[in-house]
């Protein structure tokens, strides 16, 4: 008798594994800046609770991870087809992120301090 899982079961766990790996990358990047990590976790929680819309999540992640190209690139794997975050190619705009949507619209976001916990939003 085989001890391996059916491919459909393994395939279902792969996105969860990728999400945990990505979360660990975020945690490692912001080891000494816990506020950014906590803000990211809060954004994801609010999305899961359906209190944030998709574009709000994308915009906030772009702001949180501006200047961290590997995290922006990694986040793209979780976005629906047609959406993506692109870091600026211009070195003088290192903290700028371009959000591309399926209809081709583009908007720029820059790093900012985001207050998501208690206090003003």
Domains of the chain: 13-110 (1.20.1160.11)
Average predicted confidence (pLDDT) for the chain? 84
Interatomic CA distance for residues 16 and 12, integer angstroms:
8
- The pLDDT assigned to 32 comes to 94
Across the range 56-83, mean pLDDT stands at 95
- The pLDDT assigned to 112 comes to 62
Residue 63 contacts residue 112 (beta carbons within 8 Å)? yes
For 39, other C-beta atoms within 10 Å of its C-beta total 21
């Amino acid at each position: 008798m085989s001890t391996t899982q059916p491919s459909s079961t393994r395939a279902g766990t792969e996105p969860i594994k990728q999400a945990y790996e990505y979360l660990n990358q975020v945690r490692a990047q912001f080891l000494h800046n816990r506020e950014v990590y906590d803000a990211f976790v809060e954004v994801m929680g609010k999305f899961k609770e359906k209190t944030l819309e998709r574009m709000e999540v994308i915009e906030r992640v772009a702001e949180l991870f501006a200047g961290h190209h590997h995290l922006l690139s990694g986040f793209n794997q979780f976005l629906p087809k047609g959406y993506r975050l692109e870091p600026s190619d211009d070195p003088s705009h290192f903290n700028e992120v371009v959000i591309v949507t399926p209809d081709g619209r583009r908007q720029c976001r820059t790093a900012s301090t985001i207050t998501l916990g208690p206090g003003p939003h």
